Amino acid sequence: MNRRTLLAASAAAVATAAVKPAFAFSAGTGNALTAPWTGPYGGLPAFDKVKVSDFKPALELAMAENLAEFDAITANAAPPSFANTIAAMEDSGRMLGRLYRYYGVWSSNMSSPEFQAVEAEMDPKLSAFNDSITQNAALFSRVRDVYNSRGAADLTDEQKRVTWLYHNNFVRSGANLNAADKARVAAINEELAGLFTEFNKNLLHDEGLITVLEPAELEGLPDSLAETARSTAKAKGQDGKGVILNTRSSAQPFLTYSPNRAAREKVWKAFVNRGDNGGEFDNNAIITKILKLRAERAKLLGFKTHAHWRLEDSMAKTPERAMELMEAVWPPAVAAVKRDVADMQAIIDAEGGGFKLAPWDYRYYAEKVRKAKYDLDLNEVKPYLELNNLREALFFAAGKLHGFKFKPVSGVPVFHPEVKVWEVTRKGKHVGLWYFDPFARDGKRSGAWMTDYRTQETFKKPITTLVSNNCNYIKGEDGAPVLISWDDAETMFHEFGHAIHGLCSDVVYPSVSGTSVARDYVEFPSQLNEHWLTTPEVMKKYIIHYQTKKPIPAELVAKIEKAKTFNQGFDTVEYLASALIDMKLHLAGDVTIDPDKFEREELAKLGMPEEIVMRHRTPQFGHVFSSDGYSAGYYSYLWADTLTADCWEAFMEAGSAYDRKTADRLYATILSQGNRKDPAEQFRDFRGRDPKIGALMRDRGFPVPEGA
């Protein structure tokens, strides 16, 4: 089992003494989920053959097989070496790795009550299984021996890095704990796995709720938004009315353009209170338990807090360094918000509104300020943001920068008819497939993300990448063009940046492939890719009117450029509030936390503008509480954006966003490297120095510290 697969079942895997999992495996019979992938492109996942009832027996069979593989490694009488220990671990767990891909797809894209029942049963078992591997003292002993001898061994730099990663994972996870503490950490991991599943189930329930609007409440909306609300209502059995889904892609455009203040408040409250409505689907008690368990585990592992444990192997290294960055950006961001709020309140007063700006008013009046200050109405831009054209823009920029070509293919199994697939080549050579799943549906979590179904490697033979992007756009009725917001267009480029990172990978071992990098580094390539949306080459060719097919007018592009730092205060404060609360929750240590109270009091201490709420309020903060993934790590987006802004200035210094030498250097030093090299070294290889904060502050229109 490679390192990516080893950590997939439980991000908090802990090394302890050798034990057997406290559950039984069924003998299992072959089913589509356990079969090797066959067909073209090195084999393809059989999404069309998945049956939810097959997951449990398939997982049990794959876990049993993987345990046998590790038993064979530890039974080897030969002295531990990279080949018979580390490389053998890299090549194990292939069946289980394939199964995790199916499991993740159904959890995120095709969840149903039937599948949720499987998750509730299997997630704790998967956690226990994962611990049974990392609790294997004999296995850790072999890894330690290889690690200690790596300097004398004839290993490549990549082999040394892979060895370090394995050893670091075992040690960080508690390989040296006593037996009682090892058992307790394993129990914590199992309990957390169940809580994560419950949190996800509750959030998915609340994101499935809808806000029904009367026809009069749709008045004043742009035609495209009103029609989307009516078609969604029809699909939800509310014909003749309007429906706003409780997802970001549906709620935010309504909040931006609806002149009906009461309707805005109704939609806003439904959206920001996901997971926080009391009763069966409330997440607060679950969060309290998760925080207590994380704090206890961190202490057992020898760390002051969960935040200190999580950041030890990050690029930031310590929560103090992450907080230093956030605290440097917070004051100018809040100051920018206050200036913008004053402008918005002036418009309200001039219109005789007779009310004080509230959070459900912010987006609507921000657009009025944008229009007044910059003569820019982003609703004017939307007719130029047609989904298929934007997809082609992604392909164009990736081709011009990195030599990729995308060709649609048919006959590839998919998990839903709306998923489409493209073959990706570079310099005439096949490098992978890109799957695109753009539309919202029941059972699909909200937001946008990237998933890899298979990572690149050349370990035993060349294996190419299978990667997907998943979004939640509202499908047009009867095949009508899908027009998305400017924010959604930026998100498309962002998530495609993750896909590019995976497709550029050129490593030997799967554990260091593609996006398998530090949490505060993985967002760097994706955030960097957002910059190519606004390049003239993309704007002129792909940001074209969905009806007239004419490119976006130059004067409108100029307005967008002029207004690019507008609302940066809002965007930064909305995000940073979430990142700061995440870090503060996990720096609080072993105290019993009431999430709502903690959020309210800590935001007050920070001086959070009352006109804004966190981008992700605590009861719906899936990044942090649906797994350990971004826990004490949501700061990563700001950390990565510091790298991004600095990197983008390298292109600007070269004179072009498509400068060939700079693009080639980016590919060679960062995008192709995966985790074969320390991320700080990768950045230095590209930029010739460590990152500076000045570019970030300039990009956001904030004052630049002296010397930055």
Helix (H) or strand (E) holding 207: helix 179-207
pLDDT tens, position by position, 158-168:
999 999 999 99
Catalytic residue check, 495: yes
Q: Classify residue 667 by its DSSP letter.
A: I
Residues with Cβ within 8 Å of residue 389, at least 6 apart in sequence: 542, 543, 544, 546
Pure H helices in 447-530: 486-504, 519-529
Mean pLDDT for 367-395 is 95
pLDDT at position 24 over 60: no
Mean pLDDT of 231-242: 95
DSSP 211: E
Residue 708 confidence class, pLDDT cut points 50, 70, 90:
confident
Q: Which of 326, 363, 208 is CA-nearest to residue 636?
A: 326
Mean pLDDT of 273-299: 97
Instruction: Give the residue with greater pLDDT, 449 vs 28.
Output: 449
Residue 435 near residue 414 (C-beta atoms within 8 A): yes
Least Cα distance to 625 among 605, 595, 647, 655 occurs for 595
206-224 tens-digit pLDDT: 999 999 999 999 999 999 8
pLDDT of residue 540: 95
Placement of tokens 């806000």 in the chain:
211
- The token pair at 290 is 């998760």
What pLDDT, on a 0 to 100 scale, did the predictor assign at position 86? Answer: 98
Q: DSSP alpha helices (H): ranges in 76-178?
A: 87-90, 94-109, 113-134, 137-148, 157-172
Torsion of CA 82, 85, 86, 90, to 10 degrees: 130
State the pLDDT at residue 654.
Answer: 98
What's the pLDDT band for 14 if we cut at 50, 70, 90? very low
- Do residues 463 and 457 lie in contact, with contact meaning Cβ atoms separated by under 8 Å? yes
pLDDT tens-place string over residues 79-120: 999 999 999 999 999 999 999 999 999 999 999 999 999 999
Locus of tokens 């492939």? 513
The predicted pLDDT at position 93 comes to 96
Q: How far is CA 196 from CA 123, 437, 470, 516, in A?
A: 9, 24, 21, 22
Instruction: Map 58-105 to HEC letters.
Output: HHHHHHHHHHHHHHHHHHCCCCCCHHHHHHHHHCCCHHHHHHHHHHHH
Nearest to 41 by CA among 404, 413, 392: 413
Measured distance CA(682)–CA(673) in Å, rounded:
8
Residue 439's pLDDT is 95
Position 21 pLDDT exceeds 50: no
pLDDT in tens, 476-531: 888 889 999 999 999 999 999 999 999 999 999 999 999 999 999 999 999 999 99
User: What pLDDT is attached to residue 13?
Assistant: 28
Q: Nearest 5 degrees, angle CA 501-CA 503-CA 504? A: 65
Characterize 24-35 residue by residue with b for buried, 16 or more Cβ atoms within 10 angstroms of its Cβ, and e for exposed: ebeebeebbbbe
Closest CA to 364 of 265, 270, 259: 259
Question: Which of 390, 387, 395 lies closest to 418, judged by CA?
Answer: 387
11 band by pLDDT with thresholds 50, 70 and 90:
very low
**Domains annotated on the chain, with CATH:** 3-176 (1.10.1370.40), 209-273 (no CATH)
> Which pLDDT value is given to residue 30?
58
Angle, CA of 112, 115 and 116, to the nearest 5°: 85
Residue 27 has pLDDT above 50, yes or no: no
Q: What is the mean pLDDT of residues 587-611?
A: 97
Smallest Cα–Cα separation from 647: which of 668, 660, 666, 661? 666
For residue 164, what pLDDT is reported? 96
Provide, rounded to the nearest whole percent, the portion of the chain with pLDDT above 70.
Answer: 96
Max Cα distance, the chain (Å): 84
pLDDT, position 651: 98
* Percent of the chain clearing pLDDT 90 (strictly above): 90
Is residue 596 within 8 A of residue 590, CB to CB? The reply is no
Mean of pLDDT over the chain = 93
Confidence (pLDDT) at 16: 26
Q: Which of 198, 495, 530, 574 is catalytic?
A: 495
| Mean pLDDT for the stretch of residues 169-178 | 86
Neighbouring C-beta atoms of residue 516, cutoff 10 Å: 24
Confidence of residue 151 (pLDDT cuts 50, 70, 90): confident
Whole-angstrom distance, CA of residue 431 vs CA of residue 406:
10
The answer to whether residues 48 and 414 touch, using CB atoms and an 8 Å cutoff, is: yes
Phi and psi angles of residue 408, each rounded to the nearest 5 degrees, phi first: -65, 140
pTM of the entire predicted model: 0.88
Picking from 27-41, 303-317, 422-436, 598-612, which range would have the lowest pLDDT averaged per residue? 27-41
Q: Is the pLDDT of residue 3 over 50?
A: no
Span 244-249, average pLDDT: 94
Query: What are the structure tokens assigned to 281, written together?
Result: 């689907």
Q: What is the pLDDT of residue 701?
A: 92
Q: Are 360 and 269 in contact (CB under 8 A)?
A: yes
**Cα 691 to Cα 699: distance, rounded to the nearest angstrom:** 14
The region of weakest confidence among 178-192, 418-432, 656-670 is 178-192
How far is Cα 424 from Cα 428, in angstroms, rounded to an integer?
A: 9
Instruction: From residue 197, give the alpha-carbon distance in Å to each of 63, 202, 239, 341.
Output: 20, 9, 34, 39
To which residue do tokens 């996990």 refer?
586
